[in-house]
Amino acid sequence: MINYPEKKHKTHTKIILGLIIFGIFLITLFLLIYTSFSGSPLTGNIIKNDSSNNSIIISADLTIPVLTLNDEFETIIIKGDSDSFLYVGDKKFPLSDSKENSIILTDYIGEISFNEKTILKLEGKVGGVSINGIPMTSKSNKKMKIYFDSDFNYRILEIPENAFIKILNYETSGKIILNEKTTINLDNEILTIEKFYGSLKISDKHFKIKGHVKSLNIKGTQKISVSV
Amino acid sequence: MSRKGKEEEKIFMKVSNSRKLYIPIYFMILVLVGVIIFIKYNGLMLDNFILILVGLFILFSIKFTELHRFSNSYQINEHSFVHNKGIFSKKVRSMDFLAISSIEVEQTFWQRLLGYGDVSIRLYSGETDNLVKHINNPAKFARFLRERIYLKRKEKLN
């Protein structure tokens, strides 16, 4: 026979369970709204602070990887030509009119992915944007939605500061300088960089980074592993 | 009747908790999904860790509600009313139709509005419990149970 516990006890347990579920919901909702509207990623910030204090100084000139960055950037400079359109807020800018478009994004939050020749995706929110010298800011001081409608053929892509790469793993050639004294030359070797934080510039088929890394691994004719 | 015989009895009606009971939880899930859609639509930043947290909340909420729902099931079979309780450990309470003295349908204002409620079953021994809890259309369930009891009594008299 089923023993039915006292009603009072049952109600008390139900209330506690309900409060726990509602509490978890409120915490999740708060974190979701806070990280999105403040623009500061919960995990990203912790990692960034850690990498600049306790890390290896790196300067590298390598071949261009296929990379996706999803973060907050103070400035992004893009130069190139394309038949695509750039959408900023409710405005649409044709980029086919000029052979050399210069786009400068400030206070950008969102995704940017690229390969050797093209920006495959740029989608996010921007505080201000300058298109071929014409500045544009939001009237309401709110960030504006920005995206390319198709691939953009870039010649220069630069993030002068605060570029964060969680992990970069690809076969590459070039030169790496660690802690401003050790030089490593790569020739089609597999490079793995973890938690890079610094500046990034892509121009003339060169991928140049300067900043700090948590660890670096090279596999190929030479085997090097450095970490802090 | 032997236990085996009882298990082979024909089941006329089987119900479990109504999903309407979990409307507050579904509403929380809806709010979280809505906020994610809003963030995506407006190109705001979506932290992967938070996204995983939301996913886990949704997954566990649905899992919890479904487990809770199936932890209680109620059957009306040929000769008795049966309450199955538990998932991993199981308890079965069977009440013969002839032992049931009265049936009550209980619905709060919100339960009436949403069309679910409880059915109280009182036995001749004086024992009563809100046995059948949070089921859809409790009046229909109670009516069917009364009909089965009436038929059983008629059969017994004949």
Residues of A whose CB is below 8 A from B35? 29, 32-33
Residues of B whose CB is below 8 A from A125? 42-44
**A32 and A65, same domain (yes or no):** no
- Has residue B130 got a pLDDT over 80? no
Per-residue model confidence (pLDDT) at position A2 = 47
* Total domains in the fold of chain A: 2
**A202 and A174, same domain (yes or no):** yes
> E strand or H helix at A17, and its extent?
helix A7-38
- Has residue B35 got a pLDDT over 60? yes
Q: Let me know if residue A129 belongs to a domain.
A: yes
Beta bridge partners of A121: A113
**A19 and A105, same domain (yes or no):** no
Question: How high is the mean pLDDT in each 10-residue block of chain A (228 residues)?
Answer: 53 85 92 77 51 77 90 89 85 83 89 90 89 82 84 90 87 90 89 90 92 89 84
- Nearest C-alpha neighbor of B64 from the set A25, A4, A31: A25
Cross-chain Cβ contact A109/B45 below 8 Å: yes
**A223 and A183, same domain (yes or no):** yes
Per-residue model confidence (pLDDT) at position A46 = 45
Q: Let me know if residue A48 belongs to a domain.
A: no
Cα gap A128→A131, rounded to integer Å: 10
CATH number of B3-17+73-157: 2.30.29
Cross-chain Cβ contact A72/B45 below 8 Å: yes
Domain residue limits at A16: 1-38
- Has residue B121 got a pLDDT over 60? yes
Cα gap A61→A173, rounded to integer Å: 9
Per-residue model confidence (pLDDT) at position A224 = 87
- Give the start-to-end residue ranges of the domains of chain B: 3-17+73-157, 21-67
What is the ipTM for the molecules in this complex? Answer: 0.77
Model's pTM, two decimal places?
0.53
Tell me what the mean pLDDT of segment B12-36 comes to: 92
Residues of A whose CB is below 8 A from B25? 21
* Closest CA of chain A from B151, distance in Å: 26
**A15 and A73, same domain (yes or no):** no
**A104 and A141, same domain (yes or no):** yes
A52-A56-A60-A62 Cα dihedral, nearest 10 degrees: -100
Per-residue model confidence (pLDDT) at position A42 = 57
Q: Tokens in use for A3?
A: 């023993």
pLDDT in tens, B2-21: 444 445 668 888 898 899 98
Q: Let me know if residue A44 belongs to a domain.
A: no
Per-residue model confidence (pLDDT) at position B158 = 74
Contact B113, B106 (CB under 8 A): no
Per-residue model confidence (pLDDT) at position B55 = 93
- Nearest C-alpha neighbor of B35 from the set A36, A71, A42: A36
Beta bridge partners of A148: A86
